[in-house]
């Protein structure tokens, strides 16, 4: 029996050992990015990077992929993966901490203790000072959750269990999220419903042109006076200039964010954390494991799970003589061109899966016969084909 193909992986950031251990025998970690079939990355900025011809996939150990040049990768036929939900519990727990930080002046109380730690009468003074840091319970208050993806759903459910009223808004609610969401969560038809009814608002949407500065002066004006806002998604979702005015006037009572920048760290009464959302050992391991397994399944079998630029495709393991993966544009006559090629070359198709996503598509073909040596080159000549990969061949090892 032939040995499995050897493949090299480059880690652009430190990746948890629990993830690296998931690679099968034959995989190795390389320090030379130009010989890597796949890259594992967390937060490193890849936007200005050049990619060598042999790079086939990038797996982000995390949900956000704004550090990766998606358009460039798509045109080069490089599949980009992320790990949605792997760090959801970690972020959810920090959001709950943010709720308490916003509702009760825990931060102010801790700061007072530190500033008076040398005072011999600290116990007596603390009893007098504590009234300056009183707050409110969250039970019975209304939490508005904008974005009900993997994290938003968990936050909403946790808030329900803490006795809060929860109002959720997500026009793109997935079936999976809907099944997971507590039936006690009320659904809003517009963001304005959330703004006007909530005592706390937490946002959990991706950073896109359509969501940039979604919390702006107009949105804030529709919120209750004394509103408390939490942002553990992306800093660009909030217009912090508008937020500064609202916090100075007292209309916004508290802002808890996980994204320090020159503006946010100087906002009055804001609590800014050093991007701790996924900074738990468990989250880092979960993300690393998911990223590694998805990357390996694509390189070994051609299957795509949780890609942000190409469609979900799963043909299982290949039992035929060979498997070919074709990344191409989503244009007319592509599939007929591909099948005609195999037919005209006497290559019987045992199984074919074709999926599309926006401007791009993906076709996996299992064939019964050994492929001619120039199969890859000739398939690339078909108009619209971006990349062709001989995933598996019985004669060359699996």
Please write the tens of the pLDDT for every residue from 37-83: 999 999 899 999 999 999 999 999 998 898 999 999 999 999 999 99
- Tell me the mean pLDDT in the region 80-108: 96
Q: Which of 205, 220, 160, 155 is nearest to 186 (CA)?
A: 160
The reported pLDDT for the residue numbered 393 is 83
CA separation for the pair 246, 261 (Å, rounded): 18
The reported pLDDT for the residue numbered 123 is 95
pLDDT beyond 80 at 296: yes
3-state secondary structure of 53: coil
Banded pLDDT at 330 (limits 50, 70, 90): very high
Q: Which of 59, 150, 76 is nearest to 328 (CA)?
A: 76
- Tell me the mean pLDDT in the region 16-22: 97
The reported pLDDT for the residue numbered 1 is 41
* Edge-to-edge strand ranges of the sheet holding 349-357: 349-357, 360-367, 322-329, 385-393
Query: Residues 230, 256: contact at Cβ < 8 Å?
Result: yes
The reported pLDDT for the residue numbered 127 is 95
pLDDT beyond 70 at 301: yes
Helix (H) or strand (E) holding 160: helix 150-161
Pairing of strands 186-187, 200-203: unpaired
- Tell me the mean pLDDT in the region 307-313: 98
Beta strands in the chain (DSSP E): 7-11, 27-30, 38-41, 57-60, 79-81, 142-146, 165-169, 186-187, 200-203, 227-231, 252-257, 270-272, 322-329, 349-357, 360-367, 385-393
Mean pLDDT (the chain) is 95
* pLDDT tens by residue, 354-383: 999 999 999 999 999 888 889 999 999 999
CA separation for the pair 138, 130 (Å, rounded): 19
Tokens of 311: 């469609």
* pLDDT tens by residue, 161-218: 999 999 999 999 999 899 999 999 999 999 999 999 999 999 999 888 999 999 999 9
Banded pLDDT at 233 (limits 50, 70, 90): very high
Location of structure tokens 């800093």: 235
The reported pLDDT for the residue numbered 347 is 92
Cα 76 to Cα 9, 56, 360: the distances in Å are 18, 9, 11
CA separation for the pair 221, 225 (Å, rounded): 9
CA separation for the pair 181, 367 (Å, rounded): 43
Task: Give percent above pLDDT 90 in the chain.
Answer: 91
Banded pLDDT at 269 (limits 50, 70, 90): confident
The reported pLDDT for the residue numbered 298 is 98
Rg for the chain (alpha carbons), in Å? Answer: 26
The reported pLDDT for the residue numbered 155 is 98
Query: Residues 237, 211: contact at Cβ < 8 Å?
Result: yes
CA separation for the pair 243, 102 (Å, rounded): 15
Please list the residues that pair with 393 across neighbouring strands: 322, 397
The pTM score is 0.83
The reported pLDDT for the residue numbered 392 is 87
Task: Give percent above pLDDT 70 in the chain.
Answer: 98
């Amino acid at each position: 029996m032939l040995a499995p193909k050897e493949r090299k992986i480059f880690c652009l950031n430190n990746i948890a050992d629990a993830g690296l251990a998931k690679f099968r025998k034959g995989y190795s970690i390389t320090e030379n990015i130009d010989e890597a079939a796949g890259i594992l990355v967390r937060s490193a900025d890849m936007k200005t990077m050049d990619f060598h011809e042999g790079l086939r996939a990038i797996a982000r150990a995390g949900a956000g992929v704004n550090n990766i040049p998606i358009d460039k990768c798509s045109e080069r036929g490089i599949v980009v993966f992320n790990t949605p939900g792997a760090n959801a519990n970690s972020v959810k727990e920090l959001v709950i901490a943010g709720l308490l930080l916003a509702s009760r002046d825990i931060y102010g109380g801790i700061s007072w203790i530190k500033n008076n730690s040398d005072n011999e009468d600290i116990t007596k003074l603390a009893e007098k000072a504590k009234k300056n840091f009183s707050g409110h319970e969250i039970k019975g208050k209304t939490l508005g959750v904008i974005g009900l993806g993997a994290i938003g759903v968990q936050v909403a459910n946790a808030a329900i269990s803490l006795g809060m009223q929860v109002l959720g808004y997500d026009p793109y609610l997935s079936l999976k999220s809907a099944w997971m969401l507590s039936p006690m969560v009320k659904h809003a038809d517009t963001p304005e419903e959330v703004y006007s009814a909530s005592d706390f608002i937490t946002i959990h949407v991706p950073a896109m042109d359509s969501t940039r500065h979604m919390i702006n002066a107009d949105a804030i004006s529709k919120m209750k006076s004394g509103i408390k806002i939490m942002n553990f998604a992306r800093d660009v979702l909030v217009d912090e200039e508008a937020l500064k005015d609202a916090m100075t006037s007292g209309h916004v009572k508290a802002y808890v964010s996980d994204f320090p920048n020159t503006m946010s760290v100087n906002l009055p009464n804001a609590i800014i954390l050093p991007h701790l959302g996924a900074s738990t050992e468990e989250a880092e391991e979960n993300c690393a494991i998911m990223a590694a397994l998805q990357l390996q399944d694509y390189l070994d079998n051609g299957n795509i799970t949780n890609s942000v630029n190409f469609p979900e495709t799963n043909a299982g393991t290949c039992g035929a003589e060979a498997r070919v993966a074709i990344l191409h544009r989503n244009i007319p006559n592509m599939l007929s061109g591909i099948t005609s090629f195999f037919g005209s070359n006497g290559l019987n198709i045992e199984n074919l899966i074709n999926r599309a996503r926006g401007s791009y598509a993906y076709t996996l073909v299992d064939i019964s016969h050994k492929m001619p040596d120039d199969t890859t080159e000739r398939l690339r000549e078909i108009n619209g084909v971006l990349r062709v990969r001989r995933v598996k061949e019985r004669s060359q090892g699996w």
